[in-house]
Amino acid sequence: MKDIDLLVQYALKNEEKAPQELNDDFIKEFSERRVSRAMKPKFPAAAVAVPLMLAIAGTGAYAVSKSGYFRDKTTMFGTVTGSVYENADNEINVSLGYEPETITVKVVFSDPDSLPYRDFETIDLNEFGITDQTDGSAVSCGEIIPAMIKNGEAEIRIPVGKLKSGSYAIAVSSFLGGKKADQPLEVKGHWTAAIDVQ
């Protein structure tokens, strides 16, 4: 109903009132009706929307936890200085080999045709540590040269000098993937592997 129709109906019900009094009463009653109608809670929509948003957010968090993703590297002032690829644990397999005075880290990409791996020409260890499992001491390493990637695999050679017999383990928290003329991309995750040296 239009406002004028409501005013006419109200006037017919209250014929004994003076026009100004009638008008003031109508405005007051009509305003109260509008306010009460506008303030009615809309529970059904909220009851559906909130669980749906939580389900979508949960699904996104689950997807992020199972695969890697890109993140901007920023300064403390918010300036973007590059990119990092996070949470790549399930996308790279690491194993160890040993030759005299050299530990070889074999890196295999689960899906070499996916980003960022398809763009890499070389891969290098960035943050890692090698420990002697018998006494927990750290193994010192020489200079590491980035390894060329062929068919989604690479072997990074780590000069370690002569190792005594025992078990050795490596813990890697990031690699650097490179391509000519591009800034290396840091690939973060958590990888461990062990080897027995005779």
Q: How do the pLDDT tens digits run along the chain, 198 residues long?
A: 555 665 556 566 666 655 566 566 656 665 666 555 555 555 555 555 555 555 555 544 444 456 899 999 999 999 999 999 999 999 999 999 999 899 999 999 999 999 999 999 999 999 999 999 989 999 999 999 999 999 999 999 999 999 999 999 999 999 999 998 888 999 999 999 999 998
Tokens 């990409």 locate to: 109
Burial of 120 per CB tally in 10 Å (0-12, 13-18, 19+): buried
Query: What confidence score (pLDDT) does residue 62 get?
Result: 45
Q: What is the DSSP string of 19-70?
A: HHHHHHHHHHHHHHHHHHHHTS--HHHHHHHHHHHHHHHHHHHHHHHHS-EE
Strand partners, 122: 148, 178
In this structure, are residues 71 and 174 in contact, taking their beta carbons and an 8 Å threshold?
no
Q: Where are the beta strands (DSSP E) in the chain?
A: 69-74, 80-86, 92-99, 102-109, 122-132, 147-148, 153-159, 166-178, 185-197
* The pLDDT of residue 91: 96
What is the CATH architecture assignment of 83-197? Sandwich (2.60)
Query: Where does the chain hold its CATH 2.60.40.10 domain(s)?
Result: 83-197
Task: Note if the bond before 116 is cis, omega within 30 degrees.
Answer: yes
